[in-house]
Structure 1
Amino acid sequence: MPMNSLRRLASGLAQVAASLRHGHSWRWLAYGVAVGLAAGLAACAYFVLIEWLQAFFLQRLAGLGLPHPAGEHLFTMEPGAYRPWLVPVFTSLAGLVTGFFIQRYAPESVTAGTDGTDATTLAFHRQGGLVRARVPLVRGLSSILTISTGGSAGREGPIAQIGGGIGSWLAVRFKLSARERRLLLLAGAAGGMGAIFRAPLGGALTAVEVIYREDFEAEAILPAVMSSVTAYSVFTFFFGSEHILAAPAFQFSDPRELIFYAVLALVCSGAAYGFIGTFRACKTRLFAPVRERLGIMWTLGLGGLLAGLTGALFPPALSGGYGWIEMAILGQVPTLMLVAMVLGKTLSTSLTIGSGMSGGMFAPALFVGGLSGGVVGRLAHDFWPSIAPQPGSYVLVGMAAFFSGIAKAPIGPLVMVCELSRGYGLLAPLMLSSALCIALCRKVSLYDNQVETKFDSPAHAADATVNLLERERVEGRFVRCIPAVLETGSTLKVIADLMRHSEARSIPVRGPDGQLCGLLDIHKARSLVFQQELFELVVANDLMDPLYYVTPDEDLYSALEKFVQSGCAQLPVLAEPDPGAELLGVLNRRAVFQAYAGGISRVRRQQEQGLGD
């Protein structure tokens, strides 16, 4: 009985393994789980390090009593004496240390984009999903220093880059294709974001849509969702499932209030232009010339000093600022203070990230957008309390609308806020404000490496060629014949006679066991056939190259890869993927080119017909 059970278990496991190898969806689910586990553990370690170091530097040493959101107060330390002057010291040292390691180990990351999310976007579009392992490691560790010492930056960008790096690394170890590597890159980024923000669906959707301005990566949804859910589960296993912000369950009920949410979109759009404009000015006009003169390390040291001075004079501008956002949601921040915090955070973030220090733009964007919305909510409530009874809801809507506008991501941030607000009570104002912000912010963008659509992505430009050839099989393109075959011992005289009586350009060579073992390229033998003294000395085994062949079921893209690898103009077609299988004919390289040209013509005709319609 136990033996029968073991046999059934072994059989079941074998079937599962086979389904994972051959089933597309099952395979991606497995990849998503693997990436999510690694990204979730990385997010846990990242979160603990930032929380402990932040409590040590800002609370214990500098004596600052910064507010903490309900879901993130992990460590409590006895506050030391009030020494705000230590903050610029900490941030300057963090900038110098960060600059040293980036200059030494990852200098290319300085110009890779706005933050870790943008660097991941660059890797997706232009690097085939490849990320050097040291880059996310250096950037991740340096972002811990930046945020914990008070630099105005968020955790979502770095953890997205770390998760994307994990996905890329695993894809290389699994020997996946470039397309699959890009998908695992996004799955890793989704896992990191879903875990650190505790919003699994919002994290997954943001990762697949933020790489485009007007599109999203549909193929990545399955592994991204699986990775995000897995990473979220790992994270909440250690830290609980409480949301970051203690937000009441707001409900939208009065249609007249949509007028105020439209005004919120206008205010958030104005704040977005100011936020992006200040950041670009600091990055290109202030720090870029300094970096050319002094180098990366001293530029980051200067950025840390300026950001630290801003934070010492105005503490709400320090670090991520989720505690202040929660206070604004709960109505504990005066209107004028909200305005001051928007301006202070904009400047501090521009100095921190604009100089090249590590950190994300996601949290500062939520801060500026949320508090901009909070200003509208407070004023609307003060003058029309019956129409706008819940000013805190404007903070949540402002967060989503602002980020949607500057990141061109309409769905992910909206879903994140719904997850934060414990329901879809604010769905209508969220949709209205986000749509208006996207329309009003057409001329600004947070991320440098976004492209408009898939048609503008270099990654998918290559995929277009692949897709055209993957649609056709060798079956309909090869020449059915009985091609000449040489034996390994066939002499150069036999080869010369065959060349005179055959138009073959690549001749298969059969070994003593009756199986094909190589290909002889006619061009390689052509220079020898006039040397009769070699006719009995040189044999096919001396001239042949490794064996390449195709089968009728293979697609033409696979055949094209084999033509490129072999350098041959013809490949033998075998009935089965076995060197001893029946030889059916030959596939000419020209047939593959003709198939591609025909596919391009069909696509163009379809486009012209679509335009005509």
Structure 2
Amino acid sequence: MKRKQARLLLDAVFLGLVGAIVARLFSLMVDFSQEFFLGKIALYHPPGLPNEGGLPQEVVGPYGLALIPLVTTIGGFLSGLLVYLLAPEARGHGTEAAIRAFHFLEGYIRARVPWVKMFASAITLGSGGSAGREGPASQIGAGIGSLYGTLFRRSSSERRLLLLMGMSGALSAIFRSPMGTAFFAVEVLYSQIEFETQALIYCIFSAGVAYLVSGFVVGWEPLFRVPEDLSITSPEQYLGFLVLGVLAGIVGTIAPLVFHYTQRLFERLPLPFYLRSAFGGLLLGLMGLALPQVLGIGYGWLQKAIDGELPGKLMLLLCLAKILAFSLTIGSGGSGGDFAPSLFVGGMLGGFVAYLFNQPPAPYVVIGMASVFGAAARAPMANIFIVLEITGAFALMPATTLSVMLAYIVQTALSSPLPVKSLYDSQVPNRVHSPAHRGEFFTDILADIKVKDIFQPEKVWAVIPEDMTLRQFVKLFGRTEQQYFPVVDAEGRLSGIFSINDVRPYLLNEDLWDLLIIKDIARRDVITTHPEEDINTVLRKFTIRNIDQLPVVKTEDPRIFLGMISRREVINFYNQQLEKMRRAENLIYVV
């Protein structure tokens, strides 16, 4: 094992440990905030997850839901004010910020951002904001990884890796999903099915350590409970999962659009940032008067859908209403995540499809959770793992894979002509388009190109005999646009080269024109190339003397001159090849 790999593995273990601690602290902050805002002020308790120690039943106080709009408005105001004063980049759903930092900021996140994100998100979620814990955990973990890399003066490439390690560790502790969150960290960066493969092993280590540490504290059970005999027993059931996949792809196209345009609408309001988030909280609270199920994280309601306790038509209404509720919360400037809302939307959609086919809801709810978020986030592989891990429903793997991949195909096809491709604006199609890998692909492309692929042997070049006088050359120079001139001996073999800059010092003294011959001016140490040489090597030769052209000679005989190749020709050819590669990628994948 190389020293660098060993160091990165140790980094992964450390960031997994820290991620578990921070994720647990964040969860406790959310619980405290919810108990204060919803429990103490609004006297309302939404259903929770039994596997997290929550009460499975909704508790409504003596005032009913009347105080919900007050609480959501206060929460929106406080969260918005905190973000506005301390770290504007902590607004919104945290995964987007982590993706942007990876691609465009060399993995750099300001040191204060994770902590501001932690407090702002706890306030948003605790006051009933329609968002999730996982997105903030993603940005918090990524921010800690970035801070760790900055403190220890790591290179930008390593800091990007550390960012992903921190992200996967914190997510794993929140989700209790080590494999799925490791894959999510390396897949969600791209809108096509592509992975940051060099980071995967380190993310698996980080996520695994975080899961172990978290498991010893909160237990090893999955987040959701599903029936023990959950399985697919007949081929006819797959028809329902195909329908679910298509509908999930449609919903996965609509949800990012609604969020995007809601966010733009709030940005146009002539209000300070913190008042916009308060206004979004007010609108959410008014929605909550009629549909309290859309408030908060919503996992308790998802558990009820799995257990078959929600009517089919209500689940369709909740599916659509949750998209708007999440958009109001995050689009107005609130701080939270898009994981939980997307899982909620998908689960309710799955429950509705089960109602249409008169089937038990549990498998459809589970598969719907994976399908909508896998499509909307453009991270299908990761979400298959995540949802199966958080439910323990591994018997549904074949059906989940079918539905999720179909949803992804439908979503990419429908969103292709649209201005909004997914939940994350900062995703790039693939590694070719990422600034994080721009230099790597430059080298890779050039290594496959030979001089013969660019060189134009039919082009005519002025070749200067060694014994030509400077006066004769001056007459010749007036009839050519060449800047570099190869020199040949009496047998026509290459013996030197010179540029117009080498001649310029003698042009002001015409007395020397008949005395000097080209042999006296030309450089003997000629740097040449040949048709079989790769262009990467040629570019390095250009930089040795900062020259713009090189003589091309025969591969078998370096003294036989064939022509010249310029730096500009190489760069232009490279740009053409890069554009062809990008077009080919876009033909293979629907962006």
- Which bin holds the TM-score, normalised by the shorter protein? 0.7 to 0.9
Distance in 2 separating the partners of 1:251 and 1:38:
37
Counterpart check, 1:40 vs 2:20:
yes
Taking the aligned partners of 1:605 and 1:356, their CA distance within structure 2 comes to: 38
Quote the residue 2:345 is aligned against.
368
TM superposition shift of 1:397: 0.3
Q: Indicate the larger mover: 446-455 or 596-605.
A: 596-605
Question: Structure 2 vs 1, CA of residues 180 and 469 (structure 1 numbering), >3 Å: closer, same or farther?
Answer: farther
* Number of residue-to-residue matches in the alignment: 466
Q: Of the candidates 289, 293, 298, which is equivalent to residue 268 of structure 2? A: 289
Question: Which residue of the partner structure matches residue 86 of structure 1?
Answer: 67
Structure 2 residue aligned with 1:168: 146
Residue 84 of structure 1: how far off its partner (Å): 2.3
User: For 2:48, what is the secondary structure of its paired residue?
Assistant: coil
Please, which of 96, 114, 122 is the counterpart of residue 118 of structure 1? Answer: 96
- Distance in 1, matches of 2:367 and 2:9, equals 33
Q: What are the residue-to-residue correspondences of 1:573-612 with 2, within 5 Å?
A: 604=577
CA deviation after TM superposition for structure 1 residue 465, in Å? 4.8
For the residue of structure 1 that corresponds to 2:394, the secondary structure is coil
Residue 65 to residue 338, structure 1, CA distance change in 2 (3 Å):
same
In structure 2, what is the Cα distance between the partners aligned to 1:607 and 1:78? 60
- In structure 2, the CA distance between the partners of 1:58 and 1:454, relative to structure 1 (3 Å rule), is same
Match of 1:323 in 2: 300
Alpha-carbon spacing, 1:133–1:83, altered in 2? closer, same or farther (3 Å): farther
| Alpha-carbon displacement from aligned partner over 1:218-249 (angstroms, at most 9, x marks no partner) | 01101111111111122222111121111224
Deviations 1:274-306 (A, max 9, x none): 42332223211x30111xx22211111111111
| Residues 1:601 and 1:311: Cα distance change in structure 2 (over 3 Å) | closer
- Between the aligned partners of 1:254 and 1:430, the Cα distance in structure 2 is 15
User: 2: distance between equivalents of 1:419 and 1:39?
Assistant: 19
- Residue-by-residue CA offset, 1:235-281 (whole Å, 9 max, x unaligned): 22211112111122421232221111011112223333442332223
Residue 288 (structure 2) aligns with: 311
Q: 1:101 aligns with which of 75, 82, 92?
A: 82
Match among 9, 30, 41 for residue 29 of structure 1? 9
TM-superposed CA distance for 1:39, in Å, is 0.9
CA–CA distance in structure 1, aligned partners of residues 54 and 216 of structure 2: 15
| C-alpha distance in 2 between matches for 1:606 and 1:43 | 42
Residue number in structure 1 paired with 2:478: none
Deviation of residue 100 (structure 1)? 1.9
Shift of the alpha carbon at 1:115? 1.4
Which of 197, 203, 226 is the aligned partner of 2:181?
203
User: Equivalent residue of 1:307, what SS?
Assistant: helix
Residue equivalent to 1:219: 198
- Out of 327, 333, 336, the residue aligned to residue 356 of structure 1 is 333
- 1:25-64, CA deviations, whole angstroms, 9 ceiling, x for partnerless residues? 3222111101111111000000111112212322343222
- Does structure 2 retain, via aligned residues, the 8 Å contact 1:245–1:326? yes
Compared with structure 1, are the counterparts of its residues 84 and 182 closer, same or farther at alpha carbon in structure 2 (3 Å cutoff)?
same
Superposition TM-score, scaled by structure 2 size: 0.72
User: What is the Cα deviation at residue 83 of structure 1?
Assistant: 4.7
Does the CA-based 8 Å contact 1:55-1:75 persist in structure 2? Answer: no
Aligned equivalent of 2:377: 407
Q: CA shift at 1:459, angstroms?
A: 1.4
- Code of the residue aligned with 1:340 in structure 2: it is L
- Displacement, 1:446? 1.0
Find the partner of 2:132 among 154, 159, 164.
154
Name the SS of the counterpart of 2:36 in structure 1. Answer: helix
Please tell me whether residue 182 in structure 1 is matched to residue 182 in structure 2.
no
Match of 2:207 among 217, 228, 234: 228
Tell me the CA shift for residue 458 of structure 1. 1.4
Distance 1:343 1:78 in 2: 24
Map of 1:394 onto structure 2? 364
SS in 2 for 1:405: helix
Q: CA deviation at 1:451?
A: 0.7
Checking the alignment, whether the CA contact within 8 Å between 1:164 and 1:186 is kept in structure 2 is: yes
Render the CA deviation track for 1:331-380: whole Å, top value 9, x for unaligned. 11111221221132122111101101000011000000111011111221
Structure 1, gaps ≥5 residues long: 1-18, 382-387, 472-556, 570-592
Q: Which residue of 1 aligns with 2:118?
A: 140
Whichever residue aligns with residue 169 of structure 1, its letter is L
User: Do the aligned partners of residues 425 and 164 (structure 1) sit closer, same or farther apart at CA in structure 2, a change above 3 Å counting?
Assistant: same
Provide the rounded CA distance (Å) in 1 between the counterparts of 2:370 and 2:357: 19
1:441 partner SS? helix
- One-letter amino acid of the structure 2 residue matched with residue 432 of structure 1: L
Could you say which residue in structure 2 is the equivalent of 1:128? 106
Alignment of 1:42-57 (within 5 A): 42-57=22-37
Kept in 2: contact 1:154–1:320 (CA 8 A): yes
| Local SS of the residue matching 1:153 | coil
1:261·1:433 contact (CA, 8 Å) conserved in 2? Answer: yes
Change (3 A) 1:314 1:24: same
Q: Distance in 2 between matches of 1:606 and 1:64?
A: 57
Map Cα deviations across residues 77-119 of structure 1 (whole Å, 9 max, x no partner): 9975335232222221222222222222223455xxx510011
Alpha-carbon contact 1:69-1:245 (below 8 Å) kept: yes
Match of residue 255, structure 1, among 235, 241, 247:
235
Q: Give the equivalent residue in structure 1 for 2:477.
A: none
Q: Which amino acid aligns with 1:241?
A: W
Q: Report the Cα distance in structure 2 between the residues aligned to 1:568 and 1:125, rounded to whole angstroms.
A: 34
2:238 & 2:64 partners in 1: Cα distance?
A: 46
Give 1:66's aligned residue. 46
SS at match of 1:425: helix
Structure 2 equivalent of residue 475 of structure 1 = none
**Letter of the 1:106 counterpart:** A
Q: Give the one of 313, 319, 339 matched to 1:336.
A: 313
Structure 1 position 377 matched with structure 2 position 354: yes
- Alignment root-mean-square deviation, CA: 3.4
- Asked whether the 8 Å contact 1:28–1:222 carries over to 2, the reply is no
Q: Deviations over 1:166-225 (max 9, x none)?
A: 111111122211111111111111111111011111111111101101111001101111
| 2:472 aligned residue | none
Give the stretch that moved more between structures: 23-32 or 149-158.
Answer: 23-32
- Please tell me whether the aligned partners of residues 105 and 138 of structure 1 are also in contact (alpha carbons under 8 angstroms): yes
Which residue of 1 is the match for residue 276 of structure 2?
299
Distance apart, 1:161 and its partner CA: 0.1
Distance verdict in 2 for CA 1:269–1:465, change over 3 Å:
closer
Q: Distance in 2 between matches of 1:54 and 1:225?
A: 32
Q: After superposition, give the CA deviation of every residue in 1:547-582 in whole Å (9 maximum; x if it has no partner).
A: xxxxxxxxxx9xx9xxx9xx999xxxxxxxxxxxxx
For 1:461, the aligned partner's letter is R
- Structure 1 length as normaliser, TM-score? 0.70
Instruction: Specify whether residues 462 and 95 from structure 1 end up closer, same or farther in structure 2 by C-alpha distance, changes over 3 A only.
Output: farther
CA distance, structure 2, for counterparts of residue 158 and residue 125 of structure 1: 19
1:425 aligned partner, one-letter code: A
